Amino acid sequence: MSQSLNHWVTGWTDWNMVLNTAGGPVWSKAPYNAPIIANASADEFLKQPAFYFMTHFSAFVPPASRRIQLETTKDGGLETVAFLTPEENIVINLENRFSTALGTPPVASLLRAQHEPLPTAA
């Protein structure tokens, strides 16, 4: 999702928002993962990490926000995308794909956001 948003898409739809515990139904024979897993036998829905990752976009990135450049110093392990809100707040959505947890100070030192000021109304 972050990669798509970093390459100028204006919206994103998850192909498999909800799947069953076997990873289906899907058109291919390979099982898939989804943000929500429906366990019909237990009458429950299991929210996966991807669900919370996507929730951050709707919760923290309001309409009319603009994507801004965000550079990281580590390749491959951090999926990042940043936005400048109409109120000129910077919102960073970060997904850690490393095999270990990263603390806040080390992560902050890996990021650099760049943006131009928003034009002011005349």
User: Do residue 81 and residue 39 come from a single domain?
Assistant: no
Looking at the fold, whether 41 and 68 belong to one and the same domain comes out as no
Question: Which one is predicted more confidently, 115 or 43?
Answer: 43
Instruction: Answer whether residue 96 is part of any domain.
Output: yes
Domain count, the chain: 2
Q: Which residue has the higher pLDDT, 7 or 82?
A: 82
Q: Do residues 96 and 82 both lie within one domain?
A: yes
pLDDT at residue 114 in the model? 58
pLDDT confidence tier of residue 113, bands split at 50, 70 and 90: low
Confidence band for 109, pLDDT divided at 50, 70 and 90: low
Provide the mean pLDDT of the chain: 79
The yes-or-no verdict on residue 92 having pLDDT over 90 is no
For 20-72, the pLDDT digits (tens) are: 998 888 777 777 788 999 999 999 999 998 898 888 888 999 999 998 888 77
Q: Is residue 29 part of a domain?
A: yes
pLDDT at position 38 is 95
Three-state SS at 84 = strand
Q: How far apart are the C-alpha atoms of 106 and 92, rounded to whole Å?
A: 15
Q: Which residue has the tokens 């550079």?
A: 71
- In this structure, is residue 1 part of a structural domain? no
Domain hosting 101: range is 62-117
Walk across the sheet containing 44-47 and list its strands.
18-20, 36-39, 44-47
